[in-house]
Each structure stands twice: as structure tokens, then as C-alpha cells.
Structure 1
Amino acid sequence: MFLEQLKHITTFIFDIDGVLTNGDIIASDSGEFLRTFNIKDGYALQLAVKKGYHVCIISGGKGAAMEKRFEGLGITNVFLGVSDKVAVYSSFLEQYKLNASEVLFMGDDIPDLKVMKLVGIATCPADAVPEIKAVSQYISPYTGGKTAVRDVIEKVLKVQTNWFDENPSAADSGK
């Protein structure tokens, strides 16, 4: 059943902290908050964009480094510093004329809960909080920042026979 649902996904939406990162934040002396991203997640994200999928980031976190990371991966729908994720999600669907059934969302904590109840497929990393796991149709065996994002993108693209890239570049995921 789950794999059958993946055939209809056209859109990926991800939270950042705890999903694309492990949730740790390093506070620098300059006051900047630093995060680490997984290069394998980056490869899958840029491939999804390259293959024509909508990829969107909705996060309460913010920072110029995050914007630059997603720009390098070709992700243009990046919403940072968001307090109302449902409003941003609804606006995004309206802008692209998408149905909720086409959307896979990955979140990890309570601020993601309301959106996860609205999407076609709700997913989470292995280390998500219990409330998020309870509403997820799929719980990745990988933790946030440790290829949980690649896991769900790869599953969708493989089910849709879209995973392989004829001309991969070693630079694609490191931008």
C-alpha cells in the first residue's frame, strides 16, 4: 500500500532541524547558529529537482548559510523563520495548483504535526518524537541529518523509475 502511494508523489516538503540536520545547533562566538547537512541528502534533493519534482523547505529556523545551501541544490521554494507552517504549506499548494495527495512531507517534532495531518504521505526520521511517529505513514530507519531525506526521495524516485541520473556530477550534492 505504502509503495503504491509513492507513485503519485510530485512534491517533497521538508523541515530542516531534526530532518535535514541532526537537530544539533552550534552557537558560534559571532552569534551565528551552525548546522551540518548530509551530502547524500543533498544528492537526492538536487536529483529530485533535476527530475522535475517540486521540492520545498519549510522551517522555523533561519540563516544565510541555509539559504545558500538550498540555492546550491536548486531548491527555490525555501521558507525560513516560519511560525505558521500550515499557512505556508497551503499557499505553496495553491501557487502550484497541487493536491495534498501529491505531497510527501518529512517532519520530526511538534511544529510539524498540523502540516503532517494535511499531506498525502507523512514521514519522519527514526529519531522523531512519538507524536510525529504516530501520524507518519513511514518512519525512516535513518535519523535526521543522517540520510532520512535521501531514504524517502530514493524510495519515491525508484518506485517511479526516476532514480538513476544519466549524467551525475560529483559536484551536484556539494553545492
Structure 2
Amino acid sequence: MLQELFEDIGGKFISTIEDINTKNNQIKAYLFDWDGVFNNGEKSGNEGSPFNEADSMGTNLLRFSYWLKNDNLPIVGILSGEKNQNALNWSNRESIHSCYFKCGNKSIAFEHFLKNNHLKASEVAYFFDDVLDLKVAELVGLRIFLPRKNNPLFNQFVIRKELADYCCSTHGGDFAIREAVELLIAMNNNFDEVITNRMNYSTEYKNYINLRNSGMVEYYSLINQEISRMEI
């Protein structure tokens, strides 16, 4: 039923839904690329790289779902090859744990993310879209791919090399994150509970959001092939 629902809108299960569910149960952290994931990657000068509120709400609901299931907060990070002011602002607004920017070699940043948060690679779910992300996708436990129809050979490469577990029905900026997080929330077996609590702004939700907002985002960048803490 769940698989059919997502396949009907164009989603593709590269791994079996059973395997994805098993991997999801091991996840302790959600890591997102920015360009091409929260947006379509379009830029003009210093502008561009926005996000939409539907995707942002989705990430919050996913974190709430995890909190309800595990009674603790998941680790959340942004891992970007560029410096995007919208990503920096969103990271602060949403009180995520880590925002990595200007990381041309994402593997170095990923190793820092793991060590800094006492994580195993298998405990990370990664949302990604392009070549720069593939080494990290090869390492993580759960891979969510946001494909573009206009790079069919790359899409085939990702699937052929088994670098994705689930391919979204659409590209970044077209609510693909919302699609993916709804799938993961459903696998947490608490979708209705999540929506109902948020709808009613329940005591449980208020406890969650107060705890979530008590954290401070840490910013990092790759300088001379080393990760450095940055003040923003």
C-alpha cells in the first residue's frame, strides 16, 4: 500500500521497501545537500538558492516524528559545496546542528560530521542530487536521490552503481524533500500522530519544539583541505 502510493506519483524504490525500512530504523541523523535539493540550483549573482516552506515543514515534521519514536532529537546537518546565505539563514531558523559550506570535497566534511556527532556512517540518511554528493552517498546508511529528468545518464549511473535507495518523483525545488520525508515518517509508523499533534499544537509538540529550538547551529567550512569552525 505505502509503496504503491509513492510509486503512483513517480517515486522509485531502488532498494526494497523492506530494506529501506530496516535502514531507516538505524538512522540517527539527517544530512541534506542544499543546491538542487532545497531548490532547483538556479542562481543569479549573489541571489538564488532559496527554499520553500513545504519542504521546510517536512524536515520539521520528520524531526518531530523521530523524537516521538525515539524520545530524543535526531542530528540534522546541511552539507553544501557553496556558500548560500539562504542555507545559513535556514540553518539558524530551524535550529539544526551543523551547516557545512564551501566544501568542495564533501568526504572530508562528512568524516568531520560523523566524528563531531559520534555517529557511524550507517546511521546517516543523506538527501542529494549531483556528482559532488556521490562519495558521501556511497558511505551513508540511507540514500534519498532527487533526480532531474534532463540528466538521464547520471540518473542511470546512480541507480546502476546502487548509490540510492529511493528516487524521488521530482527534482529539488518541486517539493521532493516533502515527498521523501513523508515516506520516512510513514516508516516510523506515526504519520497520523505527527500531523495531529502539530495541527493541535499539542503539549507534546510544544515540548519537542522548545527542545529543538534550544540548540545552536555550528557553521563549518573546508579551508586548505581541513574543516574549520566559522563565525557567521
Match of 1:24?
42
3-state DSSP of counterpart to 1:142: coil
Q: 1:88 Cα shift? A: 1.0
- TM-score, normalised to structure 1, is 0.84
Q: C-alpha distance in 2, partners of 1:46/1:34?
A: 23
Q: Which amino acid aligns with 1:152?
A: A
Match of 2:229?
none
Match of 1:136?
164
Gaps of 5+ in 1: none
Quote the RMSD (CA, aligned, Å).
2.1
For residues 32-51 of structure 1, what are the structure 2 equivalents within 5 Å? 32-50=46-64, 51=67
Q: 1:55 Cα shift? A: 1.1
Percent identity, aligned pairs only, is 25
Gaps of 5+ in 2: 1-17, 68-72, 202-208, 210-232
Moved over 6 A (4+): none
Report how many residues are paired.
Answer: 166
Do structure 1's residue 151 and structure 2's residue 179 form an aligned pair? Answer: yes
Do structure 1's residue 8 and structure 2's residue 22 form an aligned pair? Answer: no
The answer (yes or no) to whether the contact 2:129–2:146 under 8 Å persists in 1 is: yes
- TM-score, normalised to structure 2, is 0.65
The answer (yes or no) to whether the contact 2:49–2:84 under 8 Å persists in 1 is: no
Q: Going by fraction, where is helix more abundant, 1 or 2?
A: 2
Q: 1:49 Cα shift? A: 3.9
Q: C-alpha distance in 2, partners of 1:66/1:96?
A: 20
Picking from 119, 125, 128, the partner of 1:104 is 125
Q: Relative to 1, partners in 2 of residues 1:150 and 1:161: Cα closer, same or farther, differing over 3 Å?
A: same
The answer (yes or no) to whether the contact 1:105–1:122 under 8 Å persists in 2 is: yes
Q: Which amino acid aligns with 1:26?
A: S
Q: Relative to 1, partners in 2 of residues 1:19 and 1:132: Cα closer, same or farther, differing over 3 Å?
A: farther
For residues 75-90 of structure 1, what are the structure 2 equivalents within 5 Å? 75-90=96-111
Note the alpha carbon deviations across 1:40-96, whole angstroms, 9 max, x for none.
110022233443121110001213332112211222311111122111111111121
The answer (yes or no) to whether the contact 2:75–2:97 under 8 Å persists in 1 is: no
Match of 1:94?
115
3-state DSSP of counterpart to 1:98: coil
For residues 119-134 of structure 1, what are the structure 2 equivalents within 5 Å? 119-127=140-148, 129-130=154-155, 131-134=157-160
